[in-house]
């Protein structure tokens, strides 16, 4: 097992699912983690667990739609550990529905959290990475951004947009300072379906996640793999799919 000792990693959406699994795995491998989410009691409990196991963890309540919250998250990492090596953009929501339902509030929420939240992370972390001379941006995207399914048009659009931003950052980062990795899972057994308003769609998605979903730890291992690579090895995108697809 490769050690992540000395890596300082901030993670958004760390109150459950992929974010929590990633925080626990990276801490076990030696990284110091800075957990963030809107549910403070959840990330507080996770941080306590990590510290009780001998790991290093702090936390901050963050709403990724607010740029100042992401700036405070980055500042917390620097204040506590002296720098920030990796920002994992994991926060996301999926109040999906057919376009004909005209759920404009859900559309706006997905754009704000999934896309604008990622951009707020870029705006907060990139100046620090430039000043340090190195940094790694990891974003949890989705295979939904590669193949659009019914009811998922806007969700897929936000994920595709995140992938596009990553490619733009990669193309602009010719000086070797910034590394970028987009990780695209298929179904993952998380509580993402809770944000879906349609009860039938919510239940169907939960069934699919339970039947075919990856454990969050599988995606966490992909994150760890990307971070562990030497600086001259570029891992631009990782697709993590279940063995059976819907």
231, 178 Cβ separation under 8 angstroms: no
- Collapsing DSSP states into helix, strand and coil, what is residue 104? helix
- CB neighbours of residue 226 within 10 Å: 23
Q: What are phi and psi of 86, to 5 degrees?
A: -140, 135
Angstrom distance (rounded) from CA 76 to CA 34: 8
Which positions are annotated as active-site residues?
155
233, 226 Cβ separation under 8 angstroms: no
**CB-hemisphere CA count at 13 Å for 180?**
20
Q: Which of 15, 25, 5, 11 lies closest to 222, judged by CA?
A: 25
């Amino acid at each position: 097992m490769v050690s992540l000792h000395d890596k300082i990693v901030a993670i958004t959406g760390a109150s459950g699912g992929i974010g929590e699994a990633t925080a626990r795995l990276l801490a076990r491998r030696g990284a110091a983690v800075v957990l963030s989410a809107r549910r403070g009691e959840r990330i507080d409990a996770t941080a306590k667990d990590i510290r009780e196991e001998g790991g290093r963890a702090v936390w901050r309540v963050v709403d990724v739609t607010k740029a100042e919250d992401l700036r405070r998250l980055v500042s917390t990492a620097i204040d506590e550990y002296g720098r920030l090596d990796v920002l994992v953009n994991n926060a996301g929501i999926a109040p999906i529905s057919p376009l004909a339902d005209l759920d404009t509030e859900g559309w706006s929420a997905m754009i704000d959290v999934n896309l604008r939240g990622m951009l707020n992370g870029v705006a907060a972390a990139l100046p620090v990475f430039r000043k340090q001379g190195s940094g790694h941006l990891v974003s949890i995207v989705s295979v939904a951004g590669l193949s659009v399914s019914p009811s998922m048009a806007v969700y897929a659009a936000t994920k595709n947009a995140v992938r596009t931003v990553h490619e733009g950052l990669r193309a602009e980062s010719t000086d070797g300072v910034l590394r970028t990795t987009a990780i695209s899972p298929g179904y993952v057994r998380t509580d993402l379906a809770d944000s879906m308003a349609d009860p039938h769609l919510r239940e169907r998605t939960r069934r699919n996640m339970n039947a075919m979903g990856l454990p969050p730890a599988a995606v966490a291992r992909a994150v760890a793999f990307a971070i562990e690579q030497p600086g001259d090895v570029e891992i631009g995108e990782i697709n993590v799919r279940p063995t059976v697809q819907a």
